[in-house]
Structure 1
Amino acid sequence: MSQGIYKYSNLPILTENVLDIKEISTEKDVSFSNKISIVCFLGSDIKTAKASLFNLNQIVYKRYYPKPFFQAVAILPKATESEYLNVINELSVFTDLSKWHFIYADTTNMQLLFNSLKTPYKLNKNGYSEYAYIIDKELRLRGRKDDEDTVGGELFGYNMRSVSTLKNKLKDDIDIIYYQLKKTAEKEQRRKREKSQ
């Protein structure tokens, strides 16, 4: 399904009031507020993390990082800094990392943030989730309510191990959010014009 079912409508809100990343991180310049954020929890198993990260980077990040408001946020366990440094350096050889944020958090804070997404998924013992999540400018988790591949139809996250899911679902759904932003901005401009006439 290359043309998402929501192509010209709004992408459903699945969770309100997601915890802002700045609440659990000392890197105060990183926030979900007023951003379109793709968020992933990569855990301490570097081999698994790297495959997911590189898929997300190649298929999604490289397409959207020039867009306004876009950012990608990877939540990583504290004490994995040196291992991740190698992975991030490898990534930087072929990617502009200016919109990637790598945030190290302790287990408690990582779990707090993950729980605030209110998904049916769990972090594994390494702090890894195989899903990437869309958090909008108002700190709301976005996804699908009638996904044909999901029991009950609700799609809370996008499997980073599946190239087809990233290509056909995550990209479609990010496009919808940008389409909505464009429409909202146009409506706002019209309103201002009408007011000034």
Structure 2
Amino acid sequence: MKKTFVLVVLFVLPLVAYLFFASGVNNFGKLPVLTENIPDISQLDHALSLDGKITILGFMGSNIQQKKGNAFNLNQKIYKRFGDFNDFQMVMVVEDGHQEDAELLKKELGELSNADKWHFAFGDGDEIKTFFAQLKTDVNLDDDLSTPYVFIVDKDRNLRGRKDDEDDGVKYGFNTTSVAELNNKMEDDVKIILAEYRLALKNNDANRSK
């Protein structure tokens, strides 16, 4: 009986664990596309683009001072963890006329970490509303053209999210006022999309070497 138990522990359980995790990779290896081919941020700022980048896209509107806490949460929980990855960037949409506030925020973020991949795109009210509407989410902009939610956009300008979130069902964005949501959901989803691209890159390299 002891021998049988030892054999089960040594050989059967590892096999079951492998099959479980292998199944998980197949089922959860890709983050669903919720909106295809959103417009490029170059519509608002010719110096920026979403093409070829994994982007965390946010809308800070006209009151950056009130949104600083959201930015610091995002910086600490997401940017500091993933900011060193190639082709990763943060883009915050701000109403035109608030460039100085954006620069001050970037300077303050730079005191906590390297803020080189924090970018701000500026537009007037109508431009921001039009751009935001094309994301086709279930989130609304506040009167000051802001939202606490940020969105994951892939290198092909597809908005990624969850189709079967336990709380929201379809989940388009992540609430930056909630550290728990950034920790427990957004961090996992950013990991998934980065792993997806790493796997694709590895497969491409393997095909070239054949």
Deviates more, 1:183-192 or 1:172-181: 183-192
More helix by share: 2
What are structure 2's unaligned runs of at least 5 residues? 1-23
- CA–CA distance in structure 1, aligned partners of residues 144 and 69 of structure 2: 15
For residue 78 of structure 1, what is the aligned residue in structure 2?
Answer: 96
- CA–CA distance in structure 2, aligned partners of residues 125 and 173 of structure 1: 29
Q: Percent same amino acid among aligned pairs?
A: 35
Give the CA deviation at 1:19.
0.6
The number of residues matched between the two structures is: 187
Q: Deviations over 1:11-39 (max 9, x none)?
A: 000000101001222xx331000000001
- CA–CA distance in structure 2, aligned partners of residues 6 and 49 of structure 1: 38
Q: Deviations over 1:52-88 (max 9, x none)?
A: 1111111111111110110000111112223333322
Q: Which residue, out of 173, 180, 190, partners 2:196?
A: 180
- CA–CA distance in structure 2, aligned partners of residues 174 and 71 of structure 1: 12
Larger Rg belongs to: 2
For residue 116 of structure 1, what is the aligned residue in structure 2?
Answer: 134
For residue 37 of structure 2, what is the aligned residue in structure 1?
Answer: 17
Q: Which residue, out of 157, 177, 185, partners 1:169?
A: 185
- CA–CA distance in structure 1, aligned partners of residues 40 and 59 of structure 2: 15
Question: Are the counterparts in 1 of residues 176 and 182 from structure 2 also a CA contact under 8 Å?
Answer: yes
* CA 169–140 in structure 1, closer or farther in 2 if over 3 Å, else same: same
Q: Which residue, out of 146, 155, 165, partners 2:164?
A: 146
* CA 189–83 in structure 1, closer or farther in 2 if over 3 Å, else same: closer
Deviates more, 1:184-193 or 1:139-148: 184-193
What are structure 1's unaligned runs of at least 5 residues? none
Question: Are the counterparts in 2 of residues 20 and 33 from structure 1 also a CA contact under 8 Å?
Answer: yes
- CA–CA distance in structure 2, aligned partners of residues 55 and 133 of structure 1: 15
Deviates more, 1:65-74 or 1:79-88: 79-88
Q: Deviations over 1:93-139 (max 9, x none)?
A: 22211111011211111112211110011111101111010000000
Q: SS where residue 86 of structure 1 aligns? A: helix
* CA 187–45 in structure 1, closer or farther in 2 if over 3 Å, else same: same
For residue 127 of structure 1, what is the aligned residue in structure 2?
Answer: 145
Question: Are the counterparts in 2 of residues 7 and 172 from structure 1 also a CA contact under 8 Å?
Answer: no
- CA–CA distance in structure 1, aligned partners of residues 125 and 138 of structure 2: 19
- CA–CA distance in structure 2, aligned partners of residues 169 and 103 of structure 1: 26
Q: Aligned Cα RMSD in Å? A: 1.8
Question: Are the counterparts in 2 of residues 158 and 170 from structure 1 also a CA contact under 8 Å?
Answer: yes
- CA–CA distance in structure 2, aligned partners of residues 111 and 177 of structure 1: 27
Higher relative contact order (CA 8 A, sep 6+): 1
For residue 54 of structure 1, what is the aligned residue in structure 2?
Answer: 72
Do structure 1's residue 45 and structure 2's residue 58 form an aligned pair? no
- CA–CA distance in structure 1, aligned partners of residues 35 and 83 of structure 2: 24
Do structure 1's residue 30 and structure 2's residue 48 form an aligned pair? yes
